[in-house]
Structure 1
Amino acid sequence: MKSLRFYLILGLVTFFFVTAGVPAVARLAASPNDPTPIEIEQNGPAANLIDRGRRAYEAGEFSRAAEFWQTAAQTYRDRGDRIQYALSAAYLSLAYQDLGRWDEARDEIDLSLNVLEEISPQTAEVSLVMGMALNTKGRLLLDLGQATEALAAWQQAEAAYERADNELGRLGSLLNQTQALENLGQYQRAQLLLEDLATQFIELPDSALKAEALRNLGVTLQAIGNLDRSQAALEQSLAVARSIGATNEILATQFAFGNTARDGGDFALALSAYQQVADASKGILHLEALLNQLSLLVELERVRDASALLPAIREALDNVSVNRSSIYARVNFAKSLQALHVLDSQVNPREIAELLSQAVRQARDLNDVRAESYGLGQLGALYENQTQWNDAQRLTEQALSLAQGIDSFDLVARWEWQLARVLVQQNQAAEAIDVYRHTIDVLQDLRKDLVAIDPDVQFSYRKSVEPVYREFVQLLLSEAENADSSREQLLLREARETLEALQLAELDNFFREACLDVRPVSIDEIDDRAAVIYSVMLDDRLDVILSISGEPLRLYQSFVSQAELEQNLDLLLQSLNPAYANEYRLQYSERVYDWVIRPAEEALQQNNIETLVFVLDGMLRNVPMSSLYDGQQYLVEKYNVALTQSLQLLETRSQTDRLTVIAGGLSEERQGFPAIPEVETEVNLISEETASAVLLNEGFTREALIQQLQKNNFEIVHLATHGQFSSNAEDTFLLTWDGRINVKDLDRVLQTSTYRRNYKPLDLLVLSACQSAAGDDRATLGLAGFALRSGARSTIATLWSVQDKPTSVLMVEFYRQLNRNPNISKAEALRQAQLDLLRNSDYNHPAFWSPFVLVGNWL
């Protein structure tokens, strides 16, 4: 949508707040409550050129817009009209930015600001144009990777709008600042600012601008994963638009509602929203609503419904003018047809090729390099799907060259990945490795920018990021099989590093933030009696990399298909229910042991390994490794067991003389969740073993927890309360007496004392009554998210809900082990507590002791 690109992608309010209502006279309100507007007079041919440039820009015709504004700038310069000259130059910079002409964009915005600074006196008109120019400069700086400088420019824009007494412009500049803060990794500041902006926008009088502002606030919140707040902002936008009868704003917000619903997995609501917009709109919005319907229907494999939309989309394409939006629409239609062709052979590849060829021709006519790259690359993808490798490589390389020339790094990553796949198919492994390596480097640089990528070519993590890492690992491991020993070690090390980078990318995607500042940690730095086991689930096999201190990396392979492996893992998880016969459970458990552990047994024994640290992949994350069975013993009977997303996340061990614990929980029924009677016994017994503060039931509130953490340096936070781990951050939470603590807010709660004198980081977070979301095979991401957001070195939690009595017994024994054995590791203390249950005839079934897992530092 044009409006969304204006606000969010093209600098958010860079252009919109200044150009609203610009035909012959741009009337810009000094204040929403001030009936007397500021007027920037625009008379004569030059004013018409600015207006024509604005319309061309809004239509996505950036070259034409630049021509109009360049002529207008020359005219105003010759007339000596410095304000209009500066305004035209700022607009021209904006067009150059969209064309990827960065040097010219920088020259024009510098010229605009220099002219404005020389004007005296600095009237409200000058300040107004200054605000727009500074917003434009901020957008340029952010596109060039200079987030700190962009933030400064947007702060100056805020001040300029304040001098002009223009509240909407000021708020728009603040909205821009949130994007810079996110880019700098300052997510808490960005979140607080967004929440404050929502309140401030609501206080403005109803107008189309207010509806647009609230909508784009909702879009921003959706992009960073705050779906509930996104929906609230969109509902407010819709209410404003309806109150003033602004049909275009109503439709645009309904379209955004559809995107938020789709992102949240409510596909029926998303399809309904898209249909409503398609029925009531015309032009590009009508087309984009149809295309979003189509892509979602194809994703859901509803072939008949998808095919029924095709005639309407073809007709809509014929009726829109040629601009960047329509070119992207044409390419996206071709992408959906390619996906539909896989499901329905009646789709004609020739139509797809013609759509893409026409898109490329149109992009060239508009001199739109980015759109041309997008079309050429997708044409390369079509030839890739048709196994025409030479043509696929040629077109992909052309698209890549264009994207590199304008620094469109999201497209660079896309086309490099495509090129790497094509090279693999042509048996050019060495060249493919180089391309994959660079692709991942680009993706790492894009971590902070994925939120701001053009929505028409938005990356889907599951479809466009995760597979790059997996394919690269598979290629490295395949090459390692036939390499000499020195090259094998290089390839295995790179595969291990890529696996860890994949784990970090998954957490970034979980939080919708590039939130992990990490450094690689060698296992030698941590524990020379520990071995790290990395699992890699591939289509035709399971690969395991074993890392032991002072030893070369070892690669083990089990030739079991991913489908068979996942089926067995699912059966194992089902059999861990006590209702299943032990015979079947032990059979499934031993089979997984044979695939994951058995090949490494000899090396583990020879090196006197005591602790196994797992960096697991896919469905293996849901399986309690301690329950694996070797035919005689469970794994927990032989080794301490720990999980980690990556050794890069580990903190060094804390040195403690005495356990200090804050124990909180709910034993009573609350918010529809059942009572957990043993919680009271659990926290009281823990307090007897340690120096503890207890928050129970009505005393266990968010505020009470914060107050205790602010007053005392607790090393351990133990929370015996209902909670849920999910692959969706919005659905990952802990229950308190007065509400919920979402995983995204956990750092605000648990790290409130960060700046207090003598503050010590949290050593351990214990979640003794949480469970994974039902039916969510990636729910353990939520557990990893809790571990990360808590700031704790280690986290203990359960993979599923365990009866409260054995939980209480295990937890008390865990603290007893820690308290009475000063040199014991947390992994060993947990193991001894699990063995205590295993030796208890009432609780010796793995269902009672195996779901307790230690995540993070095991020492």
Structure 2
Amino acid sequence: MKPNGKMFNRNLTSQFKRIYHKRSLFLAILLFIFASTAPLVIAKVSQATQIVQTQSNTQQLVNQATQLYRSGQFQEAAAVWEKAVSAFSTQKDNLNQAMALSNLSLTYQQLGQWEKAIKASQDSLLVLQIQPQSQDKQKIFAQALDIQGYLQRDIGQSTQSLESWQEAAKIYSQIKEPAKLAQNKINQTQVMQDLGLFPRACKTLLEVLNPEMGVSNCQEFNQLSSEELTEKIQKVTSKSSSETTMIALRSLGELLRFIGQPEQSQIVLASSLNLADKLNSPQEQAATYLSIGNTIKTLAENERVRRRRENYYQEAVNAYIQSAKLTTSSTTRQKAQLNQLSLLLKQAKSDPEKYKEAKAFWLSQNLQDVQFSPSRTGIYEQINYSQSLAELIQLEKFQQKQDSQLPSFNQIDQILEQAATQAKKLGDKPAQAYAIGNRGALYEQRGSQEDLSQAENFTRQALSIVSSLESPHISYQYFWQLGRIHKEQGNLQDAIAASTKAYDALQSLRSDLVAVNPEVQFSFRSSVEPVYRQLVELELEYAQSLKKAGKEDERQKRLTQARDVLESLQLAELNNFFREACVEANRTQIDQIDTKAAVIYPIVLSNKQQSEMESLEVILSLPNPSPSNKAQSKKAQSDRILRLYSTEIPKQELEETVEQIQAFLKNPDTKLEESLPLYQKVYDWLVRPIQQDLENSNVETLVFVLDEKLRNIPMSVLHDGEKYLLQKYAIALAPGLQLINPKPLADINIKAITAGISEAHQGFKELAEVESELEQITELGIATKPLLNEKFTIKEIQNQILNSDVSIVHLATHAQFSSIADDTFILFWDKRLNVKQLGNLLRNNALISRSPIELLVLSACETAIGDQRAALGLAGVAVRSGARSTMASLWSVEDKSTAKLMGELYSQLKKAKQSKISKAQALKEAQLTLLSEKQYSNPHFWAPFVVVGNWQ
């Protein structure tokens, strides 16, 4: 019967009551951390005991085996450990026999000889079970359990592994070995992550790091600024600069990356590296550089701004180079080199020179001869390596070259086949599914009809394997892959069915896109967002075919489905922006309530037939003027009618045009004859195709749910050749209609808190007109006395909201929108609040205030320079603040025009109850006031202001 820690622990007291006389033992501290090869239970001779010749011989065996193990000569080490086991058995030195058996098990683990490793581990525990209780026996027993836990994790027995380590932890606690207990807990966190127990893993690591950090769970890290997190880590490292603290920080940094907090991960890992430098430990430095490279690689994959992405890539490459240079472990060196290869290949997709560098690197490092352990970790390394090789030969194909030095398709397929076989042998179904699913991706890449048939076969096998598991994080990938395969095979409806299953799996995951094992990481940009876009593309293609067939009812259903997927994409983007599932959808569709609003959903899709073109697809949602009957009018699809329009645009032209418009709008000296043609061009792409439908429907408001390429410009500047769009319609932006809490402005009591900073402060320049802006609002009688400059503090805003029944919060201060949550901020006098902290400030108080915040106004904002997705930060503020609506500027205007516009805006809001005006209409009237004045007619002055959220 296989011994286990639980059985031994229950019988510990009853079985062993006599004290075992201390003998010569080969004991050492176990540093069992996964960043490097697992250490042995090694010898340390008691000086108080006389050593006879036989003991000296066995000590020599232990020393020899240890040296062979550390030099990577595992086969030779195993033979010597076998001799040591036999020698200790002959001497009836049972404790050292158990020690040698555990080390033999560890050595067999390195060789992937799992049956022998299991037997040696079991024999060690059997020997220990019949020994009398003693301090030495407990030390060896705990370490033997540690080694068993490592073995169980390697062969995919994660639950059993955790149990073994927990039993070892109890013993370390009993015998008062705090250092070993801390090391054991760090190991536990590794397998907790394998099991998806991320909060528990974080809590355990924080216990190791001691209460000095003052953080109870990993989600709290998400609320901290970079400065606050750095300060908390410094409290920990000032108390302890030990190796255990260094490794615990590295493990925490890795965990933060796994749960989607790479920015926080980078800060924590930098502190770990600092400790490794102080300890002058090259291997630990190398392991930490490897983790840093992985985190920076994640930052690069999340980054949309190409310049910043390339900088991240180079930083990651440098970290991998340092890791490979410093390490004394061949395993760490191989990991660093393979990660560097993967990174170079990612860069090569947009930079042909990087392909040459990747190819040269692969050849120069002899990576064609890499060897992998048949362990669970080794299986995932093989899968990742095969992906790199597939990219290498695919890029070679694009270069229209053939090189016999590169791996063949069959060689890559054999690597994956071997990985699948090893995973099956270990009984690791997720790893087996990944290996087989990647074989499907490999055949999909080659692309012939025969290959696609084989790709479908492998993909279905992968899905069959995971069907018995609760693993939507795996199944979504292979339903997505199956959808792509069906699309290439020309089976449109099958492609939609498979892609819908992928979409449904993602919806069930929400933002929890960390795999049950951290070996497989997700990039929102490359692994999540494309699933939504693929389904939209397929639904729209099918809708077009239904139009030709005259099946209008079915076509409306397909367009509705495509619209719903677009809305879900908006929600997913925001959750990814915040790195948590913090955005809850309100299932009420506000476009069912406002019958005077048209909703416009543009999405840019690639054109597979013409690679130099892309398609701007526009779904238009209009009020249905004549539902067919009363029963039907209650249904959502009958209250609105959907139209679809497509415009082909040369690739990159949309992006370049948007960038030019941004530059023109931010410059007050731009001549209209220069910029107007661009405003008209985007109008022709986006609005002219739907113009007739808009005129026929008599709508008054246009609500845009914009795709990312269009978010950084205000729709109000689009021009039909005679008028700006603003002169024809009120305009609003929505980050998805399901996010809005619908309530008309006429039902609101207009009362405001105003605050701002006019002086130069914290490195930001003065905003000279802020005082005048706030005074205008106060003079209208709808605002309390402004909180200006040093009075504009977090505490004062909290007090004002708590103690007054306000519906509007108006902040005239520096603010920035960015595609990164930590870089989206609003400046208070005493502190710069990022978007999450602002949300905590406003949302929490809104819950206990009599009136929730109806409108948040930010009048001096701007988008981050060079960030083409910066407007995502505006959507983040709009959603996270808890306000029903947000009005903000996309760039800061240094002129009296802002004060004038705000004065007119609040005049309109004040009379909303009588005029029944909406927020979007109030903003429109204020903007038209500026447009009508010659000195402010340039869009630079009136166009930056947008309303986001509930426009009513």
TM-score, normalised with respect to structure 2: 0.75
Q: Could you say which residue in structure 2 is the equivalent of 1:594?
A: 684
Query: Which of 815, 831, 843 pairs up with 2:906?
Result: 815
Rounded to whole Å, the distance in 2 between the matches of 1:47 and 1:221 is 36
Relative to structure 1, the CA distance from residue 45 to residue 788 in structure 2 (aligned partners, 3 Å threshold; closer, same or farther) is: farther
Q: Could you say which residue in structure 2 is the equivalent of 1:202?
A: 237
Could you give the per-residue CA deviations for residues 740-764 of structure 1, whole angstroms, max 9, x where no partner exists?
A: 22223222232352564x4533221
Task: Map residues 468-487 of structure 1 onto 2, 5 A cutoff.
Answer: 468-483=531-546, 484-487=551-554
**Is 1:558 aligned with 2:558?**
no
Task: Report the residue type matching 1:268 in the other structure.
Answer: Q
Rounded to whole Å, the distance in 1 between the matches of 2:472 and 2:726 is 47
Query: Which of 297, 318, 322 pairs up with 1:276?
Result: 322
Question: Partner of 1:791: helix, strand, or coil?
Answer: coil
Deviation at 1:820, TM superposition (A): 2.5
Deviation at 1:406, TM superposition (A): 5.2
Q: Which runs of 5+ in 2 are unaligned?
A: 1-30, 45-92, 301-308, 608-614, 624-638
Query: Which of 280, 284, 301 pairs up with 1:245?
Result: 280
Deviation at 1:478, TM superposition (A): 0.2
**Is 1:445 aligned with 2:491?**
no
Q: Larger deviation: 808-817 or 707-716?
A: 707-716
Q: Could you say which residue in structure 1 is the equivalent of 2:879?
A: 788
Preserved CA contact (<8 Å) 1:667 1:697:
yes
Relative to structure 1, the CA distance from residue 114 to residue 51 in structure 2 (aligned partners, 3 Å threshold; closer, same or farther) is: closer
**Is 1:168 aligned with 2:186?**
no
Deviation at 1:538, TM superposition (A): 1.5
Relative to structure 1, the CA distance from residue 199 to residue 759 in structure 2 (aligned partners, 3 Å threshold; closer, same or farther) is: farther
**Is 1:547 aligned with 2:621?**
yes
Q: Could you say which residue in structure 2 is the equivalent of 1:377?
A: 437
Could you give the per-residue CA deviations for residues 57-77 of structure 1, whole angstroms, max 9, x where no partner exists?
A: 789988876665566666667
**Is 1:314 aligned with 2:369?**
no
Question: Partner of 1:777: helix, strand, or coil?
Answer: coil
Task: Report the residue type matching 2:248 in the other structure.
Answer: A
Deviation at 1:547, TM superposition (A): 1.6
**Is 1:834 aligned with 2:908?**
no
Q: Could you say which residue in structure 2 is the equivalent of 1:634?
A: 724
**Is 1:412 aligned with 2:475?**
yes
Q: Could you say which residue in structure 2 is the equivalent of 1:773?
A: 864
Task: Report the residue type matching 2:640 in the other structure.
Answer: E
Rounded to whole Å, the distance in 1 between the matches of 2:925 and 2:255 is 48
Relative to structure 1, the CA distance from residue 123 to residue 169 in structure 2 (aligned partners, 3 Å threshold; closer, same or farther) is: farther
Deviation at 1:46, TM superposition (A): 4.9
Query: Which of 23, 31, 41 pairs up with 2:41?
Result: 23
Rounded to whole Å, the distance in 2 between the matches of 1:465 and 1:454 is 17
Q: Which runs of 5+ in 1 are unaligned?
A: 1-12, 27-40, 162-166
Task: Report the residue type matching 2:251 in the other structure.
Answer: N
Task: Report the residue type matching 2:444 in the other structure.
Answer: E
Task: Map residues 739-754 of structure 1 onto 2, 5 A cutoff.
Answer: 739-754=831-846
Deviation at 1:469, TM superposition (A): 0.7
How many residues are matched? 810
Deviation at 1:309, TM superposition (A): 0.9
TM-score, normalised with respect to structure 1: 0.83
Q: Could you say which residue in structure 1 is the equivalent of 2:408?
A: 351
Preserved CA contact (<8 Å) 2:372 2:381:
no
Preserved CA contact (<8 Å) 2:476 2:506:
yes
Q: Larger deviation: 518-527 or 421-430?
A: 518-527
Relative to structure 1, the CA distance from residue 125 to residue 575 in structure 2 (aligned partners, 3 Å threshold; closer, same or farther) is: closer
Relative to structure 1, the CA distance from residue 237 to residue 352 in structure 2 (aligned partners, 3 Å threshold; closer, same or farther) is: farther
Relative to structure 1, the CA distance from residue 365 to residue 592 in structure 2 (aligned partners, 3 Å threshold; closer, same or farther) is: closer
Q: Larger deviation: 356-365 or 239-248?
A: 356-365
Q: Could you say which residue in structure 2 is the equivalent of 1:644?
A: 734
Deviation at 1:839, TM superposition (A): 0.9
Question: Partner of 1:538: helix, strand, or coil?
Answer: strand
Task: Report the residue type matching 1:304 in the other structure.
Answer: K
Rounded to whole Å, the distance in 2 between the matches of 1:100 and 1:234 is 28
Give % identity: 37
Task: Report the residue type matching 2:330 in the other structure.
Answer: G
Q: Larger deviation: 44-53 or 845-854?
A: 44-53
Relative to structure 1, the CA distance from residue 709 to residue 535 in structure 2 (aligned partners, 3 Å threshold; closer, same or farther) is: same
Question: Partner of 2:408: helix, strand, or coil?
Answer: helix
Question: Partner of 2:809: helix, strand, or coil?
Answer: strand
Preserved CA contact (<8 Å) 2:512 2:580:
no
Query: Which of 447, 458, 463 pairs up with 1:400?
Result: 463
Question: Partner of 1:804: helix, strand, or coil?
Answer: coil
Could you give the per-residue CA deviations for residues 585-615 of structure 1, whole angstroms, max 9, x where no partner exists?
A: 3333233223322333333334331211111
Deviation at 1:634, TM superposition (A): 1.6
Rounded to whole Å, the distance in 2 between the matches of 1:350 and 1:245 is 40
Preserved CA contact (<8 Å) 2:145 2:167:
no
Task: Map residues 108-123 of structure 1 onto 2, 5 A cutoff.
Answer: 123=174
Rounded to whole Å, the distance in 2 between the matches of 1:522 and 1:494 is 14
Task: Report the residue type matching 1:333 in the other structure.
Answer: Y
Task: Report the residue type matching 1:280 in the other structure.
Answer: L
Query: Which of 502, 518, 529 pairs up with 1:466?
Result: 529
Relative to structure 1, the CA distance from residue 451 to residue 373 in structure 2 (aligned partners, 3 Å threshold; closer, same or farther) is: closer
Q: Larger deviation: 344-353 or 509-518?
A: 344-353
Query: Which of 294, 311, 335 pairs up with 1:288?
Result: 335
Deviation at 1:480, TM superposition (A): 0.8
Deviation at 1:557, TM superposition (A): 2.0
Task: Report the residue type matching 2:445 in the other structure.
Answer: N
Relative to structure 1, the CA distance from residue 355 to residue 111 in structure 2 (aligned partners, 3 Å threshold; closer, same or farther) is: closer
Could you give the per-residue CA deviations for residues 787-820 of structure 1, whole angstroms, max 9, x where no partner exists?
A: 1221111111122232332111111211111112
Could you give the per-residue CA deviations for residues 356-379 of structure 1, whole angstroms, max 9, x where no partner exists?
A: 413431552462444443333333
Relative to structure 1, the CA distance from residue 619 to residue 140 in structure 2 (aligned partners, 3 Å threshold; closer, same or farther) is: same
Rounded to whole Å, the distance in 1 between the matches of 2:681 and 2:213 is 59
Q: Could you say which residue in structure 2 is the equivalent of 1:684?
A: 775
Q: Could you say which residue in structure 1 is the equivalent of 2:388?
A: 336
Deviation at 1:407, TM superposition (A): 4.7
Q: Could you say which residue in structure 2 is the equivalent of 1:234?
A: 269
Task: Report the residue type matching 1:589 in the other structure.
Answer: Y
Larger radius of gyration: 2
Preserved CA contact (<8 Å) 2:209 2:245:
no
Preserved CA contact (<8 Å) 2:532 2:565:
yes
Relative to structure 1, the CA distance from residue 324 to residue 803 in structure 2 (aligned partners, 3 Å threshold; closer, same or farther) is: same
Deviation at 1:535, TM superposition (A): 0.9
Deviation at 1:503, TM superposition (A): 0.9
Relative to structure 1, the CA distance from residue 214 to residue 519 in structure 2 (aligned partners, 3 Å threshold; closer, same or farther) is: same
Question: Partner of 2:857: helix, strand, or coil?
Answer: strand
Could you give the per-residue CA deviations for residues 418-441 of structure 1, whole angstroms, max 9, x where no partner exists?
A: 221111101122222121111122
Rounded to whole Å, the distance in 1 between the matches of 2:617 and 2:867 is 24
Question: Partner of 2:522: helix, strand, or coil?
Answer: coil
**Is 1:364 aligned with 2:364?**
no
Relative to structure 1, the CA distance from residue 677 to residue 223 in structure 2 (aligned partners, 3 Å threshold; closer, same or farther) is: farther
Q: Larger deviation: 207-216 or 346-355?
A: 346-355
Rounded to whole Å, the distance in 2 between the matches of 1:612 and 1:712 is 34
Could you give the per-residue CA deviations for residues 474-525 of structure 1, whole angstroms, max 9, x where no partner exists?
A: 0010001112222212211111111111111111221222221223222355
Q: Larger deviation: 470-479 or 240-249?
A: 240-249
Rounded to whole Å, the distance in 2 between the matches of 1:206 and 1:116 is 23
**Is 1:701 aligned with 2:793?**
yes
Rounded to whole Å, the distance in 2 between the matches of 1:708 and 1:25 is 68
Q: Larger deviation: 76-85 or 574-583?
A: 76-85
Deviation at 1:548, TM superposition (A): 2.6
Q: Larger deviation: 282-291 or 642-651?
A: 282-291
Q: Could you say which residue in structure 2 is the equivalent of 1:846?
A: 939
**Is 1:582 aligned with 2:672?**
yes
Q: Larger deviation: 447-456 or 392-401?
A: 447-456
Rounded to whole Å, the distance in 2 between the matches of 1:782 and 1:438 is 30
Rounded to whole Å, the distance in 2 between the matches of 1:454 and 1:207 is 29
Q: Larger deviation: 426-435 or 747-756?
A: 747-756
Question: Partner of 1:853: helix, strand, or coil?
Answer: strand
Q: Could you say which residue in structure 2 is the equivalent of 1:38?
A: none
Rounded to whole Å, the distance in 1 between the matches of 2:776 and 2:110 is 67
Rounded to whole Å, the distance in 1 between the matches of 2:189 and 2:389 is 38
